[in-house]
């Protein structure tokens, strides 16, 4: 005896929300609405509504598990309240000890889009080989095809967005808005102004 109507009366959105919880707790990377909808075998709009419910339940201050929208998808993370406890148990292998050179290289790739090592060397004025290799090893950048001249190009990864807490690359401030005098110029100008005429 089939009673298909019963499913609808039993608040199916709640069941969908539980399914999404299950998917998010075992996923190894943020899941997009489309991926969640495909796995849950449900409609994207309903998934979004259910994610709204979960965002309410899993938020800072209310839960140790926090739902965040990051790297183009949704993922669970630890609440900030528990960061000391997490710090005692877990390393931060990805971002620990990122050098200034590594950050500049990441900035070049994140802002300018896929770049080759010669591109990066040209912009930064120093060879980029070892820095690029280090960033690939950390999983913050990955190969993205070759340019015409044959050099491998690199792009930032979803892990990069995750580590820097970005919903997407478009969340980065526009490069045109940057460009205040940098340290080097400031120092040179300071030197010039202090030098007795």
Q: How far is CA 50 from CA 5, 31, 89, 128, 167, in A?
A: 20, 14, 32, 45, 19
Q: Which does 19 bind (CB under 5 to 8 A by kind): its own copies, another protein, none?
A: its own copies
Among 8, 10, 89, 192, binds its own copies (CB under 8 A): 89
For the CB of residue 174, give the shortest distance to its own copies in the complex, in Å: 33
Cα–Cα distance measured from residue 91 to residue 135, given in angstroms and rounded to the nearest whole number: 17
**Angle of the 44-57 helix axis to the 12-26 helix axis, nearest 10:** 70
Contact status, residue 75 vs residue 32, Cβ threshold 8 Å? no
Among 13, 82, 123, 172, binds its own copies (CB under 8 A): 82
Q: How far is CA 29 from CA 73, 149, 164, in A?
A: 9, 34, 14
For the CB of residue 132, give the shortest distance to another protein in the complex, in Å: 13
* CA-wise closest residue to 20 among 3, 5, 38, 4: 38
Residues numbered 5-64 forming contacts with another protein, rule: CB under 8 A: 22, 25-30
Contact status, residue 120 vs residue 132, Cβ threshold 8 Å? yes
DSSP secondary structure letter of residue 174: P
Q: For its own copies, what does the binding mask look like between residues 36 and 65, x meaning CB under 8 A?
A: --xxxx---------------------xxx
Residues numbered 92-131 forming contacts with another protein, rule: CB under 8 A: 92-98, 100-101, 103-104, 106-108, 110-111, 118, 121-127
Count, residues near another protein per rule CB under 8 A: 72
For the CB of residue 52, give the shortest distance to its own copies in the complex, in Å: 16
Contact status, residue 47 vs residue 39, Cβ threshold 8 Å? no
Among 15, 69, 76, 142, binds another protein (CB under 8 A): 76
Residue 71 lies near its own copies (rule: CB under 8 A): no
Chain residues binding its own copies by CB under 8 A are 15, 17-23, 25-27, 31, 35, 38-41, 63-65, 76-79, 81-82, 84-86, 88-90
């Amino acid at each position: 005896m089939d009673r298909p109507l019963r499913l609808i009366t039993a608040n199916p959105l709640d069941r969908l929300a539980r399914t999404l919880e299950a998917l998010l707790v075992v996923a190894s990377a943020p899941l997009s609405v489309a991926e969640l909808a495909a796995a849950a075998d449900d409609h994207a709009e309903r998934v979004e509504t259910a994610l709204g419910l979960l965002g309410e339940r899993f938020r800072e201050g209310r839960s140790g598990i926090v739902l965040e929208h990051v790297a183009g998808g949704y993922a669970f993370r630890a609440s900030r309240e528990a960061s000391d406890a997490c710090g005692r148990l877990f390393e931060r292998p990805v971002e620990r000890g990122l050098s200034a050179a590594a950050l500049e290289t990441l900035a070049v790739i994140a802002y300018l889009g896929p770049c080759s090592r010669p591109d990066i060397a040209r912009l930064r004025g120093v060879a980029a080989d070892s820095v690029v290799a280090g960033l690939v090893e950390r999983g913050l950048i990955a190969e993205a095809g070759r340019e015409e001249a044959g050099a491998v190009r690199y792009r930032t990864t979803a892990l990069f967005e995750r580590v820097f807490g970005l919903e997407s690359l478009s969340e980065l401030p526009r490069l045109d808005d940057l460009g205040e005098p940098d340290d080097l110029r400031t120092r040179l100008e300071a030197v010039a102004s202090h030098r007795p005429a």
